[in-house]
Amino acid sequence: MNQLDRLKQFTTVVADTGNFNQLAAFAPRDATTNPSLILKAVQQSEYAPLLAETVARHRGRPTADIVDEVLVRFGLEILRVVPGRVSTEVDARLSFDTAATVARAHRLIDLYEGAGVRRDRVLIKIASTWEGIQAARILEHEGIHCNLTLLFSFCQAVACGEAGVRLISPFVGRIYDWHKKAAGATWDEAARAGIHDPGVQSVERIYTYYKKFGIATEVMGASFRNVGQILALAGCDLLTISPELLAQLQASDAPFERQLDPACAVAASIHAVSFNEPAFRWALNEDAMATEKLAEGIRAFAADALKLDRLIEGAAA
């Protein structure tokens, strides 16, 4: 049994890509996308006809509307391959606007439902700002399920659980990147690998807290830099993995064991906490890594969203 097949015994495997032609080889249950992945996909020649056709069909409409049509078109193609759900992201430029995020989510869901897709097969992906979490609270009450992304801190995870969010995506690799850069020449790669990786430890803490206190929100580790980080989280509810790393897992039959287990989490000696808005903002402010990576992630996704706007405007001209 290869590592990918073994991992599927413990964890729901999700593909992190907009390239739906790659999905069948790995048989993931779900798939996740983001503005950067969609931008990368639409610039590939194999997807040029899909982009041109979608833009032509909606030429003359506002750019934001055409962008949503393109995002949903990729989502629909992904759902032809995966049996589960697709995550489609709200424009990162709305990350601090609760009402606008809710409105954009409604539009995305309307497009999916108009194409015959049930809303339970779609996760609306939203940045884990306070405003984003409150938007998700509203959407979840309406039966629109959310994937809270760009999650780097424990306070973000707790707030998401309190809001009844369906799923969170803690970013393992970006946490690892920050700590490695901060340590500089003192960083010891071997000593900080596997279960000692700071990104892995962040996810393990959140997973343990959720299971200990019966929080139904699903934990999906994301943003992996290497296979070691993935295997160190075997047993996590879900893991979303790039095609490159999925291929590495598929090519190896090296043994590994389950690392995260709900029974062990329930037995953990930890206390429940809660974050209102002031407490959340203070806790996030006190976490330099989370503050910096959240802002950096929003800026990067916003920049790629702008590039996608320009690409679509060029195609519509």
pLDDT band, very low/low/confident/very high, at 180 (cuts 50, 70, 90): very high
Angle, helices 288-316 vs 172-183, to 10°: value is: 120
Any idea what the CATH number is for the domain that residue 257 is in? 3.20.20.70
Q: φ, ψ for residue 218 (rounded to 5)? A: -80, 140
Share of the chain above pLDDT 70, in %: 100
pLDDT given for residue 106 in this prediction: 98
pLDDT given for residue 245 in this prediction: 98
pTM over the 0.95 mark: yes
* Residue type, position 91, single letter: D
pLDDT given for residue 317 in this prediction: 84
pLDDT given for residue 316 in this prediction: 86
Angstrom distance (rounded) from CA 30 to CA 85: 5
Per-residue pLDDT of 257-313, as tens digits, reads 999 999 999 999 999 999 999 999 999 999 999 999 999 999 999 999 999 999 999
Which residues are the active-site residues?
A: 125
Q: Which structural domain range is residue 312 located in?
A: 3-316
Q: ∠ CA(87), CA(153), CA(271), 5° rounding?
A: 115
Per-residue pLDDT of 125-165, as tens digits, reads 999 999 999 999 999 999 999 999 999 999 999 999 999 99
Instruction: Please give the average per-residue pLDDT across 221-234, as a whole number.
Output: 98
- Asked if pLDDT for residue 230 goes beyond 90, the answer is yes
- Asked if pLDDT for residue 194 goes beyond 90, the answer is yes
pLDDT given for residue 57 in this prediction: 94
pLDDT given for residue 69 in this prediction: 96
Handedness of CA 169, 21, 77, 317 (dihedral sign): positive
* Alpha carbons within 13 A on the beta-carbon side of 160: 33
Share of the chain above pLDDT 90, in %: 97
pLDDT band, very low/low/confident/very high, at 203 (cuts 50, 70, 90): very high
Per-residue pLDDT of 37-90, as tens digits, reads 999 998 999 998 999 999 999 999 999 999 999 999 999 999 999 999 999 999
Structural domains in the chain (count)? 1
- Asked if pLDDT for residue 17 goes beyond 90, the answer is yes
Mean pLDDT, the chain, whole residue set: 97
- Asked if pLDDT for residue 35 goes beyond 90, the answer is no
Angstrom distance (rounded) from CA 71 to CA 52: 13
3-state secondary structure the chain: CCHHHHHHHHCEEEEECCCHHHHHHCCCCEEECCHHHHHHHHCCHHHHHHHHHHHHHCCCCCHHHHHHHHHHHHHHHHHCCCCCCEEEECCHHHCCCHHHHHHHHHHHHHHHHHCCCCHHHEEEEEECCHHHHHHHHHHHHCCCCEEEEEECCHHHHHHHHHCCCCEEEEEHHHHHHHHHHHHHHHCCCCCCCHHHCHHHHHHHHHHHHHHHCCCCCEEEEECCCCHHHHHCCCCCCEEEECHHHHHHHHHCCCCCCCCCCHHHHHCCCCCCCCCCHHHHHHHHHHCHHHHHHHHHHHHHHHHHHHHHHHHHHHHHC
Q: Which residues contact 44 (CB under 8 A, 6 or more apart)?
A: 19
> Cα–Cα distances in Å, from 191 out to 177, 195, 289?
15, 10, 20
86 with 47: CB under 8 angstroms? no
